[in-house]
Structure 1
Amino acid sequence: MSFFNPGHRPTLHSVIGRGHLIVALVGVAMASVSLTLLGVLALRVYADHNLHLIARSINYTVEAAVVFNDKAAATEALALIASTEEVADAQVLNVKGQILARWQRPETGLLTELEMQMAKAFLEKPISMPIVHQGQEIGSILLIGHGGSLMRFLLSGLVGIVLCTAISAWVALYLARRQLRGITGPLRSLASVAHAARSERAFDQRVPAAAIAELDNLGNDFNALLDELESWQTHLQHENETLAHQASHDSLTGLPNRALFEGRLLRALRNANKLNERVAVLFLDSDRFKEINDSFGHAAGDAVLVAVANRVRAQLREEDLVARLGGDEFAVLLTPLQKTEDAERIAEKIIASMEVPISLPDENQVLTSLSIGVAVYPDHGLTPGALLNAADGAMYQAKRLARGAQHTAGSEYLVDNVQIRS
C-alpha cells in the first residue's frame, strides 16, 4: 500500500515548464534528424554523381595508355585525378580484367577507417565504367568513393543539432517562464489571499486583476466571496460586541451591571493591596423611587433611573466606575482613593446633583433624593462582598436615620460609621 506525499507534488510552474521544454526538444530533435537524413540522401546522390564524373574523366585520360598497355602512363594519369577527388580506391583494368593501374588513398589511422566505413554504409557500391575505343571495349574503370565529405557533413550536422537543441531549450524556457508569469502570478496571489483569509481571517485582502480572462474571472468571483465573508464577519463581530455589552451592562441606563462592577472591584482591591492604596465603595439608593413609580407609572420610573445614572456619572472622575446593581440601587467605585474626605466630597456632589427636578415623559417634573452608604478598603472590608455589604448596611442605616428625622428631601450617608447629614 502506497501513500502519496503532498509535499512532493510538482508545482504548476515546473509541470508547464517541463512540458514546454520537452515539446521544444522533441521538435528540434525531429527537425534536426529529418534535415540531417535529407542532407545525407542529397549528399549521397551528389557523391554518386561526382564519382561518375570522376570515372568519365579518368576514362578519357587513361584511354590511350590502356590502348598501348602503358602501365606507367595509366598509373600517373590515374593518380593525378584520383588524388584530388573524393576517391578511396581507383583501378584501371584491361580487357582481360587485369589491373593495369591502381591508386589508393593513404591510410592515416582511425579517421580514415571511419571514413571508409561511412562510405560503405551510405554510398553506393563501387562504380564500374567500361573504357571504349573506336566502338570496342578495351578495359574498365573501378572506383570506390571516399566518405570524408559525408563524415564532415554528419559531424557538422551533429554540432548543429546540439546547438539548435541548446538554443531551443533556452528559448523554450524563456517563453515558458514569460507565459507562466501570466498564469502562476495570479494563482499565487489568489493562494496568498486565500491562505491569509483562512489562517488570519484577513477578509479585507483582495486578489489583483489578471491579464488572462479565465483567471481574472476566478479572481473576481473569489473577491466577491471575500466581500460576503467580510460582511458576515463584521456583522458577527457587531453581534458579539452587542451581546458582550448586553451581558455586562444594564439595558436601561447603559451602566455596567453587578457582574462587571464586582469584577472591576476585585481587580481594584488586588491592585490596592500590592500598592498599599485605599479604595472606596458608595452604595446608592433612591428614597422616593417606589412612590414615583406608583404615582406616575413605569415610564416615569425609568426616566428617573436614567436621570440618576447620568447625574451620578457626571460627578465622577474618569477612572471611577458607577454601576446599576438592580432596581433603584447603584454602586460607585472610587479608585485610587487618596483620603476618606475625597469620598465624602464626591458623595456630596452626587447629593447636590439631585436638587434639580427630573423631567418625566408626560412633561411633569419630580424631585428625588439618594441615600448613600460608604465603605473604605481596608477599613471596612478586604473582599468585594465585604465592602458591598458594609456600604449597603451604611446606606440602610442612613435611610432609617433620615426617616426618623423626617428629612424627606434630604440625603444621608455614613463614613467610618459616623453619620453625616446634608
Structure 2
Amino acid sequence: MDLQFYSPDQKRAQRLSARLRNFATVHWIDRGPSALTDELPPATSSGLVLLDYSLDAAEESSTLARRLIVHAPDLPLVGVGSTGMDRATGVLAALRAGVRDFLDLDATDEELRHLLARVQSQAELARMARTRTIPVRAPGQVVVVLGVRPGVGTSTLVAHLGALAMASGPEPAKSEAGEASSQVLLLDLGRPFGDVALYLGVDGDFHYDDALRSARRIDPILIRTALAHHSSGLALLSQAAEASGTQAVDTEAGMLIDRLRDHFGLLLCDLGGLPVGAAPLPLLRSAGQIWLVADQGIGSLVSLDATLRELERLGLRDGRLSLIINRYGEYEGASATQLADRFKLPLLATLPERTRALRGCTNRGQLLHQIASRDPYVRALRPLLEKMQVGSAGTPALTGWKRLLPHLGGFRWTTR
C-alpha cells in the first residue's frame, strides 16, 4: 500500500514508516504554511492520503483537508495523531474538517494495519462503483400508513402490502453475486416496536437506529447483507424491540430517507399507533401518499380527529391523505362513505373483519395470501396495491395484475 503523508516534520514520517514497514510504503510530503497556496497535491490512484494532526500541524492539515474534499471529494483522507487526553484535540479538528478516519498512534501496529486495510478496501469498492454505468432513476416512492391509534390493524395491513408489492413489481435486478435485489423496503416504525417483523417472521441485528448512524454508508452491499429480508424478497428495516423511542434529529432522519429512496423503488412505512408528533417529520414530508387507518369504533374516530388536527398543525393536511376503514361491517355503525364525508377525506379502501383468519395465519408463521389467496381481506387490498408504484425511473408503473394474479390464485374480482 502506498501512503502519502502530509506533515511538516520528516521525523514523524520516518517513525510512521518504520511502524508500517511490513505493510505499506510511506511517502513524506512537506506541507508548510507557505505551501498551502500552491496547487493541490497530486492524488495517488492506488493509495491513501494521511494528514498530520499533531498539535503543531492540525490547523494546516484541516485547511488542506477542506481543499481536498472540495476538489477531490472521492479521495480517502486519514488523520494521523494521538487520542491521548492531552492531545485528543487533533481528533476533534479532523472530524470538523471532514476527515472520517483517524490513525491513532497510541494503538498497536496491528491495529494501525487493520484500520488502513479497511479504509483501502472501502476506497476500492467506491472506485469500482464509480466505474460502473448506473442507470439514472428517480427517488423511490414513499407511502406512509398511519394508524390513528394502536390496535387498528396497521402492522398486519403493512406486512401483507409489503409482501404483495414485491410480487406485483418488476423482476428484481440481479447483483454481481447473482442475488436478487429488493425493490421494496418496509420501514417498521409503528408501536409496539417490531410488530411487522414479528408478523413476517424475520429478524435482524441491523435496526433503524443503526441506519440513522450509518446513513452515509448505505449502499447495495450493506442493504443486501445487513438488512433483514422476507422470503418474498421484501427488505425490512425495523425499530429494535428495546429501542427507547427517542425521536431522531430531523437532519439525520432526512438524510436516511433520501439515501433509502436512492436504492428502493418504494418505501412502505408503518407508523401504526405512533403519535404524529413522534413520527419522523422528513418522512411525512417526503411521502407521496399518507393513508390513515381507522375502524368504526368511537375511540378510533376520536383518535382520527386528533390525528387530522395534528397533521393540520404541521401543514401536512393536504391532498396526499386518504382513509382506510379496517374491520369494516356494514351494520356496525356509520358507513365508510359517511365517515369519509364526515372527516373530508377520500375513501381509499374498506377492509372486512377477518381478525380470526389473520390471527390463525400469524400463529402459523404465514401471511393470509399465502394460505387463502381468495380471502375477502386479500381481495380488498387491490385498490391499495394499485396505488403503489414499484420500480425505477424509466420503468412504466404496473397497472395490470398479470404478475400478481398467480400469487392471488388467479381470482378475478369485482369492486364496489
> Structure 1 length normalisation: TM-score?
0.21
Q: Which structure has the bigger radius of gyration?
A: 1
Bigger RCO (CA 8 Å, 6+ sep) = 2
> Structure 2 length normalisation: TM-score?
0.21
